[in-house]
Chain A
Amino acid sequence: MQSFLDIFDIYLLEAVINGILLGGVLALLALGLNLIFGVIDVTWICYAELVMIGMYGMYYLVQVFHLPYWAAAPLVILLVALLGAALHFFVIAPLLTAPPINQLLATGGVLFILQSFATVAFGIDFRNLGIRLPVLALGEMNFSYARLLSFAAALVGMVGVYLFLTRTFTGTAIRAIAQDRQIMPLMGVDPKRIYLVTSAIGGGLAGLAACLLVLQYDVHPFVGLSFGPITFLICVLGGLGNFIGGFIAAFVFAEIISLGGLFSDLEWGYVLAFAFFIVMMFIRPAGLLARRS
């Protein structure tokens, strides 16, 4: 009995730590979405599909063009950043004055486009980088280096964005425009440029997430659906546009999925997370950290 409990606790601890590691990448994705929502007031339903395109980019650069991983990653980040800027320029900008729901649905159309583009261009086979990182055995617990690396890189990325937002002029302008989009043009800030820069940063974060996720998961055209919805729920749970709320919510969700998956199938982890989300919406409609008005 005693030994059974020991094993059980080890598994529990392993699941908790894996949840934290998963939370890092989710927090990165949530940060990108929150940034775009907070500044431009748009929800990119197709955000996870940008990540999917980035994962394909990694696949082709590494497997077909035989670039080393560390050289391919910046290229992919740049590529997805450009994609984000293009998305803003071609789809969001013409709709800026339309009701937000139309912008949301238009990005839903982009979701279809990107998914089926990937199906047409790359086929529906599962692909992976063929890089197998070793597994770190800590006592009786196993952690893959891929997850540890993702967690670390996600943290670095988030700190980078934080420094950019607080220490540079453009970053300050981005934060200012999120607070008052009428006044900022009078202060000499060009909102169009800021929106483009923000979209590019949001895309860049998706690109970074793609570089990290491709280490752990196979790529296929519908891979976005497996973490896209979760990302939106995290953002809403944290309060759309609330960076810190999104950060906390990412770890809450990751723990629920990880622990739910420990006790039952992975799907039940997701069911639990979704149900938790709906319940929380009723308890705190404006997000975890919102003050009651």
Chain B
Amino acid sequence: MNRQVAFWIIALLALVALPFVHRDPYHLHVLVLILIWSFAYTSWSIMGRFGLVSLGHGGFMGIGAYVTALLWNHLGVSPWIGIPLSMATAGVLALVVAYPCFRFRITGHYFVLVTLALSGIVLQVITATRDYTGGSLGYTPQRAQSGKGLFALQFDDKTTWYLIALAVWVAGLVIWRAIDRSMIRHAMEAISEDEDAAAAAGVNVTAEKLKITLISALMTALSGALYCQYQMFISPDTVSGIAVSLQMVFAAIVGGVYVALGPTVGAVITIVLAEVLRISFGTKAVGWDNLVYGILLVLFIIFLPKGILGSVIDRIKSPRKPSRGHEQQTVPIARR
């Protein structure tokens, strides 16, 4: 166990030291993107691993990005206050939609489609209020005057962004681990197996589901806000809507939903793939990355539902004896 802890500490130190050793701005840019999206995918998996498949996370991410940017541009509110406010907005929305969902036992297909409506609404509202949000043309937070970069959470330096993204990503993993070791996890696993049985055993089904949804939504909004502050440009299609939601689902499943680093592996694969295609084929590559994603997603769901990392870890841990949770071959909403 101690060796394991030492390994993680060394790995983390290596990650922190990386930008000071390797200063290539392009590589750092890709790494920051990977870290931010990994955090978003991890947020999704915190819910998704328990069978709460949401297609509304594109909406939460959009709210995180747009509320932060709008507060800054129109009211001059610093992102230091704006980001918590945007997270609160996403959290309230999540509760407003999720509470009745869980109260009335909307699960499975129905839950997926209700959340799909949610990301649809956010996308359409952003597009419709184009006088404020720039509509589908996208939106740029105003540049802060020089010297006020910290106040505006805007940094030109990639190293700073790398460290911020790294910290947030690690925080995401810590949250994952905390949930993994808490009672919520056991309660949620029971719920995903059989809601009635869980309720009969004394689990407050609605409350547990709400907790996990709230955590997931808050984290997703934070990832959206970070993405906005880093890229300094957001458009409805890159941070909200159904395509982004599906992208989260896809990356998480390819990496592995049931292990902490699975979504990160998914983010590495998808972003590196997209960048490689973009560099080697240029504008001709438009569409090819999604084509490969789609084919991979279908193949993974059919042949490797635990994802790359999940399957690899299973193989390493116990070639013969299946580990706990092995019987959960698949995302377990669906038992009826």
Contacts and interface: CB of A to CB of B under 8 A. Distances in A.
Interface of A: 37, 43, 91, 94-95, 98-102, 104-106, 108-120, 124, 221, 225, 229, 232-233, 236, 240, 264-265, 267-268, 270-271, 274-275, 277-278, 281-282, 285
A104 B288 contact: no
Interface string B114-154: 10111011001101100000000000000000000000000
B101 to A, nearest CB: 8
B104 interface: yes
B200 to A, nearest CB: 19
B65 interface: no
Q: Which of A108, A114, A278 has the most CB of B within 10 A?
A: A108
B interface secondary structure, majority: helix
B110 A95 contact: no
A124 B26 CA distance: 28
17 contacts: A99-B331, A99-B334, A101-B333, A102-B301, A105-B297, A106-B297, A112-B294, A116-B289, A116-B291, A225-B243, A240-B109, A267-B124, A267-B127, A274-B117, A277-B117, A281-B100, A285-B106
Nearest to A103: B301
B117 A278 contact: yes
Contact of B334 (A101, A112, A274): A101
Given A109-B250, A267-B128, A91 B334 contact: no
A225 B242 contact: yes
A191 B56 CA distance: 34
CB-CB nearest 8 A-B residue pairs: A99-B334, A112-B294, A119-B287, A109-B297, A267-B128, A113-B294, A116-B290, A116-B291
Interface of B: 51, 53, 97, 100-101, 104-106, 108-110, 112-114, 116-118, 120-121, 124-125, 127-128, 241-243, 246, 249-250, 253, 286-291, 293-298, 301-302, 305, 330-335
Given A101-B53, A236-B113, A113 B301 contact: no
B256 to A, nearest CB: 14
B225 to A, nearest CB: 23
Contact of A106 (B100, B104, B287, B298): B298
A112 B106 contact: no
B286 A119 contact: yes
B293 A229 contact: no
B3 to A, nearest CB: 37
A104 B330 contact: no
B249 A119 contact: no
Contacts of A95: 301-302
A274 B246 contact: no
Q: Which of A100, A102, A117 has the most CB of B within 10 A?
A: A102
A240 B333 CA distance: 17
A232 B290 contact: no
Given A43-B109, A102-B330, A281-B106, A108 B121 contact: no
A86 to B, nearest CB: 13
A102 B290 CA distance: 19
B248 to A, nearest CB: 11
Contact of A117 (B101, B117, B291): B291
A49 to B, nearest CB: 10
B49 to A, nearest CB: 12
B329 to A, nearest CB: 8
B333 A281 contact: no
B152 to A, nearest CB: 30
Given A116-B288, A285-B106, A101 B112 contact: yes
B294 A109 contact: yes
A117 B286 CA distance: 10
Given A271-B125, A285-B105, A102 B246 contact: no
Contacts of A114: 294
Contacts of A101: 51, 53, 108-109, 112, 331, 333-334
B156 to A, nearest CB: 33
Contacts of B110: 236, 240, 281, 285
B128 A268 contact: yes
A102 B330 CA distance: 8
Contacts of A109: 250, 293-298, 301
Contacts of B112: 43, 101, 104
B188 to A, nearest CB: 15
Contacts of B114: 236, 277-278, 281
Nearest to B237: A222
B116 A232 contact: yes
B246 A108 contact: yes
A105 B249 contact: yes
B310 to A, nearest CB: 14
A274 to B, nearest CB: 4
A112 B121 CA distance: 21
Contact of A110 (B128, B287, B298, B334): B298
Contact of B290 (A99, A115, A225): A115
Nearest to A119: B287
Contacts of A91: 298, 302
